[in-house]
Amino acid sequence: MTLPPTPAQTVGPFYGYALPFYGGDEIVPATHPEAITVHGYVFDGAGAPVPDALVETWQADQHGSLAGAPGSLRHDPVTSTVIGRDGVRFTGFGRVPTDADGHWALHTLPPGAHRPGATPYLAVAVFARGLLHHLHTRIYLSEHADALAADLPALAADRRATLLATLERDRLYRFDIRLQGEGETVFFDFQ
């Protein structure tokens, strides 16, 4: 027996005071010596930046553990406002709204292999006004390009390249999300 799922609906334009939270973009502090930054833009089918998208990520820790930890939305015990992570426990969850220019940036640790031989990546969910049902993609760091090619051989090389975060300088990776059109990001349907 399976139940029919509740349908998805768009996140709309007004999630901004509800879903983003303090420190959502800092899975580890940006100053962590091993932190990497992944950043990019979300673009629509006309190549225009999308200023009202929300990017969420979930990943293994550096050792490949997917256990996660509570505390992404830690509250100040006095005021009850969200004050973010404690800087120690790795929750694995990131959430960042795009800026007015469609840009987002996330500070985290490079994920470890979640099983022996697995290619590590960040799982991504993308929400936006105009998007009736969110989308899933993956961020593979550029050093795993060959492993990604071996994992997804059926995907054309130019399509596969949309899943790669390119190294711009030490510890800074670029990952653009193109919702439609030329260079459209590969989105997945998990069956």
Partner 1 sequence: MTTQHEIDAAIAKAATGGGAHHPARDYPPYRSSALRHPKQSLVPVVDPEAVELTGPVFGVTDVTELDRDLTLGHHGEPHGQRITVSGRVLDRAGRPVRGQLVEIWQANAAGRYAHHLDQHPAPLDPNFTGFGRCRTDDDGAYAFTTIRPGAYPWRNHVNAWRPAHIHFSLFGTAFAQRMVTQMYFPGDPLFPYDPVLQSVTDQSARDQLVAEYVHDLSTPEWSLGYRWDVVLDGPSATLFEDGDR
Report 152-171 residues binding partner 1 (CB under 8 A). Answer: 152, 155, 159
Q: Judged by CB under 8 A, how many residues of this single chain contact partner 1?
A: 74
Q: Counting contacts by CB under 8 A, is residue 80 touching partner 1?
A: yes
Residue 179 exposure: Cα atoms within 13 Å on the Cβ side: 27
**Segment lying near partner 1 (by CB under 8 A), choices 33-41, 101-109, 164-172, 173-181:** 173-181
d(CA 98, CA 35): 21
Q: How far is CA 150 from the centre of its chain?
A: 22
Find out whether 160 and 136 touch, Cβ atoms under 8 Å: no
At closest approach, how far in Å is the CB of 51 from Fe ion?
A: 17
Find out whether 79 and 58 touch, Cβ atoms under 8 Å: no
Find out whether 188 and 138 touch, Cβ atoms under 8 Å: yes
**Segment lying near partner 1 (by CB under 8 A), choices 28-36, 102-110, 118-126, 164-172:** 118-126
Q: Which of 101, 158, 170, 189 binds partner 1 (CB under 8 A)?
A: 189
User: What does the binding site for Fe ion look like in residue numbers (CB under 5 A)?
Assistant: 12
Q: Which of 60, 106, 141, 165 binds partner 1 (CB under 8 A)?
A: 60
CA distances from 16 to 96, 119, 132 (A): 10, 33, 17
Quick one: what does residue 145 bind among partner 1, Fe ion, none, with the CB cut-off 5 to 8 Å set by partner type? Answer: none
Given the complex with partner 1, which of 133 and 169 has the nearer CB atom? Answer: 133
Q: Phi and psi dihedrals of 17, rounded to 5?
A: -100, 5
Q: Counting contacts by CB under 8 A, is residue 98 touching partner 1?
A: no
**Segment lying near partner 1 (by CB under 8 A), choices 31-39, 57-65, 142-150, 167-175:** 57-65
> Counting Cβ atoms within 10 Å, is residue 129 exposed (0-12), middle (13-18) or buried (19+)?
middle
At closest approach, how far in Å is the CB of 168 from partner 1?
A: 24
Residue in the block written with tokens 């992570």: 85
Quick one: what does residue 172 bind among partner 1, Fe ion, none, with the CB cut-off 5 to 8 Å set by partner type? Answer: none
